[in-house]
Amino acid sequence: MQKLVEVLADKQALIAKSLALVLEKITTSLDQQDYFTIALSGGSTPKPLYEALSSQPLDWSKIHVFWGDERYVSPDHPDSNQRMARLAWLDRIAIPAANIHHVPTDDPDPYLAAQKYDDHLRQWFGVNSPDFPVFDLILLGMGDDGHTASLFPHTAALTVSDRCITVGEKDGNPRLTFTVPLINRARCVIFIAAGESKRPALHEIFSAYGDSFSYPSRLIHPPAGELYWLLDAAAGSSFV
């Protein structure tokens, strides 16, 4: 695993670096293969990145977009990660509808919906269990509590090792999320985190002796891939 931690001066510089790195991964991959797969994170931090991507002159027909997690709400709900990404980016570009692989949240049973998305990933990537799909790039955020995707501290989702998708839980509300082993198969994982409130969790995550079940972002370490932590100064000034 190649791990890089970079602290940028402010939020604007953080987004600029994130954009440059994402574009580098896309162009390098498309020089070597016919398509590029990216899984998106939700939250407010990546929204300016998605807005910036919407103006890039890329061949969108070769880019396939997935989501690393989703709240269990309708696609038009204000809390939907899909809705945020569509408004900021995907509705602004000429990308084929078949290239947008949204998380299904229409089944009354979130566990059945998780299986449906799991089946879709395996079918699309042509991978059967016990193997996992390999994404070119997975974007992740990190909460103040150290969670990433919808992998929250001390929840059952952290221990799922035989599925691509499972049900996470936050305040009693279900969410669908990539599992730890799926994320760790990626060729590249990029964490993007901003704000002083992230410092305590980052201290635990970067510690040699931290507790991974209390700070789930510690579980992300793709053994054959690249791991980037991009932080603004407010979040990461004590780590440089």
Average pLDDT over residues 215-225: 96
Q: What percent of the chain has pLDDT over 70?
A: 99
- Examine residue 218 and state whether it is found in any structural domain, yes or no: yes
| CATH number (domain holding residue 42) | 3.40.50.1360
Average pLDDT over residues 47-53: 97
What pLDDT is attached to residue 240? Answer: 60
How does the average pLDDT of the chain come out, rounded?
A: 96
What pLDDT is attached to residue 84? Answer: 97
What pLDDT is attached to residue 48? Answer: 97
- Examine residue 234 and state whether it is found in any structural domain, yes or no: no
Domain tally for the chain? 1
- Examine residue 240 and state whether it is found in any structural domain, yes or no: no
What pLDDT is attached to residue 167? Answer: 98
Q: What percent of the chain has pLDDT over 90?
A: 93
What pLDDT is attached to residue 184? Answer: 98
What pLDDT is attached to residue 238? Answer: 77
Q: How confident is the model at residue 120 (pLDDT cuts 50, 70, 90)?
A: very high
Average pLDDT over residues 72-89: 95
pLDDT at 34 over 80: yes
pLDDT tens string 152-200: 999 999 999 999 999 999 888 999 999 999 999 999 999 999 999 999 9
**Peptide bond connecting 130 to the previous residue in cis, omega within 30 degrees of 0:** yes
pLDDT at 136 over 90: yes
What pLDDT is attached to residue 44? Answer: 87
Average pLDDT over residues 44-55: 96
> Which residues span the domain enclosing 190?
1-229
Q: How confident is the model at residue 237 (pLDDT cuts 50, 70, 90)?
A: confident
Average pLDDT over residues 21-36: 97
